[in-house]
Amino acid sequence: MSMGLLRLLRGNKASAPVARERLQILLAHERGLRGQPDLLGVLREEILAVVSRHVALDPTKVIVRLERGDEVSTLEVDIEVPNDIERKRVAVG
């Protein structure tokens, strides 16, 4: 209540709530790491292992992007597969 009032007086510019939210997301993830393996890390490892069973992976052609969020996180694995292997497959638009 008083926090909200304070923010109103300052013209809604307080940065501390942003700091709190960022820390909550980050620390929830980091505390989890101490007990159990990082889920996104495990997924990343296993996806790459599966793909490399079928394709000789060039590590420089694999891009992994991650965005940790409050509700959901996204793991984006971008793998460049040479065409001679993919020739028989139907292109996916």
Partner 1 sequence: MAKVLVVTSGKGGVGKTTTTAALGAALAQRGDKVVVVDFDVGLRNLDLIMGAERRVVFDLINVVQGVAKLPQALIKDKRLENLWLLPASQTRDKDALTEEGVGKVIDELRARFDWVICDSPAGIERGASMAMRFADEAVIVTNPEVSSVRDSDRIIGMLDSKTVRAEKGERVEKHILITRYDPSRAARGEMLTIEDILEILATPLLGIIPESQDVLRASNVGTPVTLSNTEGAPARAYTDAARRLCGETVAMQVPVERKGLMDRLLRRRAA
Please name the amino acid found at residue 20. R
Shortest Cβ distance from residue 8 to partner 1 (Å)?
A: 18
Task: Pull the structure tokens for residue 20.
Answer: 């709190």
73 and 42 Cβ atoms separated by less than 8 Å: no
DSSP annotation of 38: -
The piece of 2-10, 22-30, 49-57, 85-93 that touches partner 1 (CB under 8 A) is 22-30
Choose, by CB under 8 A, the member of 44, 57, 79, 81 that binds partner 1: 44
If binding is defined by CB under 8 A, does position 68 make contact with partner 1?
yes
Choose, by CB under 8 A, the member of 7, 25, 47, 79 that binds partner 1: 25
Our measurement of the distance from residue 86's CA atom to the centroid of its chain's CA atoms, rounded to an integer in Å, reads 27
**How many residues belong to the site for partner 1 (CB under 8 A)?**
21
DSSP output for 5-23:
HHHHHTTS--SHHHHHHHH
Q: Which residues bind partner 1 (CB under 8 A)?
A: 15-16, 18-19, 22, 25-26, 30, 33, 44, 59-60, 62-69, 73
